[in-house]
Structure 1
Amino acid sequence: MPPKSPNKPGSVGQKMFTADTVAALLVALDNPVITRDQLNLMSALDGTRTADAFQHQMRPVVSKAKELKAKIKAGEVFLPIKSSSKKRGGMLTPIPISLYTDDGREEGRGKLGIG
């Protein structure tokens, strides 16, 4: 039985990356091309799409990788974005008023099934 496709519901641990990110990865590996053997590997791992389908899907990625490699070779510098000054996370989810008892005490969160 072929493995679950990353495009199907129920696949676990699958991430989506932009075409630009994959192109940058190809450049970082110093090989902005994808061979037939690599396409066959993708097809085998996916279990639903053919190597030709992957080749068609990867054409713009390979084109972008070649373009990026030429820009880097010409001396272009790519600067990363700066991180935001706002801290991520840290915000607590407020408890709705309806979760408090009549005398103002909070009921046990475990009993309410919210934490």
Structure 2
Amino acid sequence: MRLRNAMLAAASAVALVLAVPFSANAATGDFLYKVGPGVPVGLADPQSRECIDLPWTTEEDPGFAPENRTQSTATVFLDFGCSGDVFYVMNPGKKLGDRLKLRSVVFS
């Protein structure tokens, strides 16, 4: 009887673990910015803890005016590859002006 109860408890624990959804490891929401002559672009549900070089940004024309509409903190960098001394931390919901230039981002 005890063995059957132990097996039932173990099977129930395994079923419970499998029923809980796993984290998608994404920053839920949108990260928006502008490029070129103010054309709005963005990332939908970007990957977390991974550097993202922003599409449509170049050495000559960085992105600007970012809006962090995700549920994660975004750290934006002036340089590609999330490197360099120029960066800014954006909390969820933060919107910055045209003066902030960026080329890459990483989400918490």
TM range (shorter): under 0.3
Give the helix-richer structure, 1 or 2: 1
Bigger CA radius of gyration: 1
TM-score (norm 2): 0.20
Give the strand-richer structure, 1 or 2: 2
TM-score (norm 1): 0.19
